[in-house]
Every structure is written in structure tokens, then in C-alpha cells.
Amino acid sequence: MHQRKMGPLQVWTGTVLLTLCLAFCIASQEKETSTIDHELLVVTIATEENDGFRQFMKSAKKYGLDVKVFGMGQEWQGGTMESIGGGHKINILKESLKPYKHREDLILMFVDSKNMLMEKKMETVVPIT
């Protein structure tokens, strides 16, 4: 199995995506929420299964978090600036989220599935009111 090293571009891309997701969550919280039940949508980008991905999915299942995986089975085209570079992940995310763009009841949480584990239930992430 080939391990890819993360360069500055991948770190920057991940930081930008996380910041956008947090901004989306904050904006969602600012709306009137007294009569709207929110749904948490946990999404990740993965083009192949590896040990980190499997451990992440196992931890999400343990805490009852449903994860949408975008890009599975696609050829990874990121990592260099010769083609679409680090934008590949963003392009997959942008295309995959189109069906959800009018969902005002949705809280989106984008996570990296290679090097993180879930440790909390949805109720900890999205307080029940």
C-alpha cells in the first residue's frame, strides 16, 4: 500500500475546507431554529479504502454517525499542480454537495477520513433543543 505525504498545499486545502464548513455551521446556528429540526450530515472525501479510512468509518459507526463518502473509486488526481492539484478534493466536494444546497435543516460537517477518529455522538456535536 502506498502512503502519500501531505504537502503544504494539501494542508492548506484541508484548512480552507474545514474553515468553510465551520462558517457554514455558524451561519446555520444564527438562523431561527426553534421550529426546525436539524440533521447532521458528516461527509468525507476518499478515493480508496485504506487503514485510516477503515478506522475512521469504524469510529463513526461506533458513535452512530452516518458518513457520506464522496469520490470512492475515482482516480486520485490531487497532490501536484500539473493537473488540478489540491483542487481535486474541492471539486469532488462541490459536485457532491449540489443535492443538499437548499437544505436549511442541514448541518454539514466535513472531516478528513485518513487521520482522525470520531469520539462523540451526534448530540454532542449538534445540541438537542
88 grid coordinates: 481535486
Q: For 56-93, what is each residue's pLDDT tens digit?
A: 899 889 988 889 999 999 888 776 666 555 677 888 88
Q: Where are the beta strands (DSSP E) in the chain?
A: 39-45, 67-70, 106-110
* More reliable by pLDDT, 120 or 67: 67
* H/E stretch holding 90: helix 87-96
Q: For 1-46, what is each residue's pLDDT tens digit?
A: 455 555 666 666 666 666 666 666 666 555 544 444 778 889 999 9
Distance CA(21)–CA(19), nearest Å, equals: 5
pLDDT at 34: 44
